[in-house]
Structures are given as structure tokens and as C-alpha cells.
């Protein structure tokens, strides 16, 4: 663990931004002011941040329906995202996409995605482009334990191997796809990484509730792929703290499950304990960041509420032709 003080503070801040962004959405969605389907990333922050802290704007990521964390970790603007989710015309996608379709291609964020399993093939193409560009950049696809059952994911894994694409399959196993358990839906009832291995990829595994596990694992994975060895896969075991979508009554959970994972598998608590026990940072450093982040999220909501709304004419913009 050779991270500088600045790098540690930055990583914590990034995770905290995602956490507070989502906790705030969870509250604001109850008021009915925010439209559409929203899937919160709370609980999985260590994965997005532990991956993206290694990346530059040349590296690409492809995200999922649960994309806010990936977007924020890859550098999408907090205010632009909040405005998008609130449906403003100043949102990152002018209010046309919403929560499930946030993208910032200039930042290497090739889009959240409403279609489960659609991301992996896109990352193969982006990974081939990275290889063609020859600058050592990589393309990363995030997929859930549910998405790993999609034929598109299988095809993408094989094609990445065959084309030696500079592509990394990051599987976030949070044990649930919608209301269905991992053990039912993934026939091997084992892990996802061994599937990727069967496609001919080198694979890694890590604890997706521990930033340091993710970060150190990704250092190895990225060294391997950036060196031109072709694709790789990594599975992180993690937790989702909220329901599948906002409004999900979660009756599929066990008694006390949510309290237990919030207590024992919270990446922010784990991070704080690790760095304070190792005397790398003290509580005051982190408390100051907490306050700063809360204010930043508050400000993003203020802006989102005040931002101009789209108008009927906007419907006909951004298409190559309209009838």
C-alpha cells in the first residue's frame, strides 16, 4: 500500500461523493420530483473508484443501468449528472437520457446502459481501438452477476480473446440480479471469474467492499493489459445497499441482511478504519472531506432544482433528421 496522502484523500473523497450522491437521490426520489427509473450504486463504491483511480481520459469505460458510481469515478461532472437525473436541459445529456443513460464520451465514459449485457461488446470495440492507437490505453466494461448470463457477454469475452483487444471485464458480483439470487441464475453456482477463465482470459478476484483490495488487484490487471497481453477479467464480490430500483420492497433479502452489510461490508467504514489504524490519515482529515462532500452534493441539488427545463422544441434536436 504505497498510496500518497493525496491519493488516499482523493480516493476517499471519490467514494464519498458517490455515496452521498446516491443517499441524497434516495431521499429526493421519495418526493416524486425525480422522474424515471433509478438504480443506486451505494455499497459498490470501492469497485468504481478502485478501478477508475488508475485510469486517464484516454482509457474508456462502459457502464450499466447502475451507472452513477462509474460515471462519477470516471470524472463526469457532479452538477451535470444531478441536473441530468432531474431532467434539466443543462444536464450532461440535456435531459434526454436520464439516470440510465448518462455519458461523457470526451472523458472516456461511453455511457450507462439500460440494456443488461449491452456494454461488454461495446467495450471490445473500444478495446480494439485502444490497441490500434497503441498508447497503452484500455477499455473497461462493468457487468453485474446478472449481465454475465447474457449471450452478448459470452460473445464479447470470446471475441476479446480472439482479437486480443485491450479490454477488461470487471464483474461486480452483488449476489442479486433484480430479485433473483446469484446462486440460482449462474448455473455453476461458483464464481463468475472462472467463466471468464474458460474463455481463455487471465482472471483476478478481489473484495469489492475494500478499496485497497480493488485498487491493488486492478494495478496488476492494468499492468497486464496495458503491456499488450490481450484482455483480462476480474470479479469483485460486493454489496448493493438499496433495492434493485428505487421503490423495490426487497422481500428477497434475509432477516438483518441490510443491517449486517451496512455494518460489516461498508467500503467507506472499512477505508476509514484501515487508514486511521495505519496512521495514514486521521479522522479529522476524513471528517473535513465528509462535510465538504455533503455541501457539494447539496449544491448540485440546488443547481438541479434551479436549472432550466427542456422545452417541446428540444425533442427534435440531436437527431439527424426529424419528421
Ligand X SMILES: Cc1ncc(C[n+]2csc(CCOP(=O)(O)OP(=O)(O)O)c2C)c(N)n1
Contact residues for Mg ion (CB under 5 A)?
Answer: 144-145, 174, 176-177
Least CB distance to ligand X at residue 106 (A): 26
Which of 177/300 has CB closer to ligand X? 177
For the beta carbon of residue 285, count every other beta carbon within 10 angstroms.
Answer: 17
How many residues of this chain interact with ligand X, rule: CB under 6 A? 17
**Residue 6 binding result from ligand X, another protein, Mg ion, none, given CB thresholds of 5 to 8 Å by partner type:** none
Q: Please choose which of another protein, Mg ion, ligand X, none residue 121 contacts, taking the beta carbon within 5 to 8 angstroms, the exact cut-off set by kind.
A: none
Distance in Å, CB of 306 to ligand X, minimum? 31
Instruction: State in angstroms the smallest separation of the CB of 176 from ligand X.
Output: 5
Name the residues that contact another protein, by CB under 8 A. Answer: 35-37, 87-89, 93, 95-98, 100-101, 113-117, 146-147, 149-152, 176-187, 248-255, 257, 309-312, 314-316, 319, 321-323
Contact present, 290 and 16 (Cβ < 8 Å): yes
Work out which of 23, 77, 178, 197 binds ligand X, going by CB under 6 A. Answer: 178
Is 226 or 262 the residue whose CB approaches ligand X more closely? 262
Torsion angles phi and psi, residue 297, rounded to 5: -70, -40
- Using CA of residue 157, residue 126, residue 68, residue 17, what is the dihedral sign? positive
Q: Does 230 bind ligand X (CB under 6 A)?
A: no
- Asked if 236 contacts 173 with a C-beta cutoff of 8 angstroms, the reply is yes
Question: For ligand X, what does the binding mask look like between residues 30 and 69, x meaning CB under 6 A?
Answer: ----------------------------------xxx---
Residues 143-162 that bind ligand X (CB under 6 A): 144-147
202-207 sheet: strands from edge to edge: 60-62, 139-144, 167-173, 232-237, 202-207
Q: CB 55 → ligand X: shortest distance, Å?
A: 20
**Torsions phi, psi of 236, nearest 5?**
-115, 125
Residue 321 touches which of another protein, ligand X, Mg ion, none (Cβ within 5-8 Å per kind): another protein
Least Å distance, CB 178 to ligand X, is 4
Beta partners for residue 202, in sequence order: 232
Task: Considering the complex, state which of residue 100 and residue 293 has its C-beta at the smaller distance from ligand X.
Answer: 100
Closest separation in Å from C-beta 144 to ligand X: 2
Nearer to another protein, 105 or 319 (CB): 319
Interacting partner of 60 out of ligand X, another protein, Mg ion, none (Cβ under 5 to 8 A depending on kind):
none
Phi, psi for residue 141 in degrees, rounded to 5: -110, 130
Torsion angle (degrees, nearest 10) of CA 27, 32, 36, 40: 10
Single out the residue of 195, 212, 208, 217 nearest to residue 240, CA to CA: 208
- Give the nearest distance from C-beta 136 to ligand X in angstroms: 29
What residue is closest to Mg ion based on CB? 144
174 binds ligand X (CB under 6 A): yes
Integer CA distances (angstroms), 108 to 37, 50, 74, in order: 24, 17, 8
Minimum Å gap between C-beta 174 and Mg ion is 4
Nine cell digits for residue 7? 491519493
- Binding footprint of ligand X on the chain (CB under 6 A): 64-66, 114-117, 144-147, 174, 176-178, 240, 244
Amino acid at each position: 500500500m504505497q498510496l500518497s496522502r493525496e491519493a488516499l484523500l482523493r480516493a476517499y473523497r471519490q467514494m464519498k461523493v458517490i455515496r452521498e450522491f446516491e443517499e441524497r437521490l434516495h431521499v429526493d426520489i421519495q418526493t416524486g420530483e425525480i422522474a424515471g427509473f433509478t438504480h443506486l450504486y451505494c455499497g459498490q463504491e470501492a469497485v468504481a473508484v478502485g478501478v477508475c483511480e488508475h485510469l486517464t481520459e484516454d482509457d474508456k469505460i462502459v457502464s450499466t443501468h447502475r451507472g452513477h458510481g462509474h460515471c462519477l469515478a470516471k470524472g463526469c461532472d457532479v452538477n451535470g449528472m444531478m441536473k441530468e437525473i432531474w431532467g434539466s436541459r443543462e444536464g450532461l445529456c440535456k435531459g434526454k437520457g436520464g439516470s440510465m443513460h448518462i455519458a461523457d464520451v470526451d472523458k472516456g465514459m461511453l455511457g450507462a446502459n439500460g440494456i443488461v449485457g449491452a456494454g461488454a461488446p461495446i467495450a471490445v470495440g473500444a478495446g480494439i481501438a485502444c490497441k490500434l492507437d497503441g498508447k497503452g490505453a484500455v477499455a473497461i466494461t462493468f457487468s453485474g452477476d446478472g449481465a454475465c448470463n447474457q449471450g452478448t457477454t459470452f460473445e464479447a469475452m470470446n471475441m476479446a480473446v480472439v482479437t486480443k483487444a485491450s479490454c477488461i471485464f470487471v464483474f461486480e458480483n452483488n449476489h442479486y440480479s433484480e430479485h433473483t439470487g446469484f446462486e440460482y441464475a449462474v448455473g455453476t453456482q461458483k464464481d463468475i471469474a472462472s467463466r471468464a477463465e474458460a474463455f481463455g482470459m487471465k482472471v483476478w478476484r478481489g473484495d469489492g467492499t475494500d478499496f485497497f483490495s480493488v485498487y491493488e488487484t486492478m494495478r496488476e490487471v492494468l499492468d497486464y493489459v496495458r503491456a499488450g497481453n490481450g484482455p483480462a477479467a476480474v470479479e469483485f464480490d460486493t454489496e448493493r445497499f438499496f433495492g434493485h430500483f428505487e421503490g423495490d420492497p426487497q422481500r428477497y433479502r434475509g432477516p438483518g441482511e441490510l443491517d449486517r452489510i451496512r455494518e460489516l461490508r461498508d467500503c467507506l467504514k472499512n477505508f476509514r478504519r484501515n487508514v486511521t489504524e495505519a496512521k495514514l490519515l486521521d479522522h479529522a482529515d476524513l471528517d473535513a472531506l465528509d462535510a465538504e462532500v455533503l455541501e457539494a452534493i447539496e449544491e448540485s441539488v440546488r443547481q438541479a432544482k434551479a436549472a432550466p427545463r427542456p422545452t417541446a422544441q428540444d425533442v427534435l434536436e440531436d437527431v439527424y433528421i426529424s419528421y
